[in-house]
Amino acid sequence: MLETTRSRLTADPEDPGTLRDLSVSLDNVGKTDQALGDWQRARDAFTERLEIARHLAAVLPEHQDYKDLPDWFERRLAELAAAQEEENRG
């Protein structure tokens, strides 16, 4: 799914709907990687998702949903770091 969404961006790299779809796919990948204990891959997926959210918030400032996403994703990355730290201590 992730690669399919990425390939859709080749036709229109700025399409907000496709960027949002990619963000959702990255979230799913990141959650799966986290559940498998692959912290680096989870962090990479969540970081890319954050970059997309920042881009969408910048180009579509009138959309409240996009405006709030970067803060939410930054918190998600912080939660990931805390979960990894907890696992390392355990």
Per-residue model confidence as pLDDT tens digits over 24-36: 999 999 999 999 9
Residue 10 buriedness (CB in 10 A; 0-12 / 13-18 / 19+) = exposed
Task: Report the distance separating Cα 6 and Cα 46, nearest Å.
Answer: 16
Per-residue pLDDT tens over the stretch 34-83: 999 999 999 999 999 999 999 999 988 898 888 888 998 899 899 999 98
| Phi-psi category of residue 38: left, alpha or beta, with phi > 0 → left and psi -120 to 50 → alpha | beta
What is the residue whose two structure tokens read 């969404």? 5
Domain boundaries, the chain: 2-89
Output the CATH code of domain 2-89.
1.20.58.80
Q: Residue 31: its pLDDT value, please?
A: 92
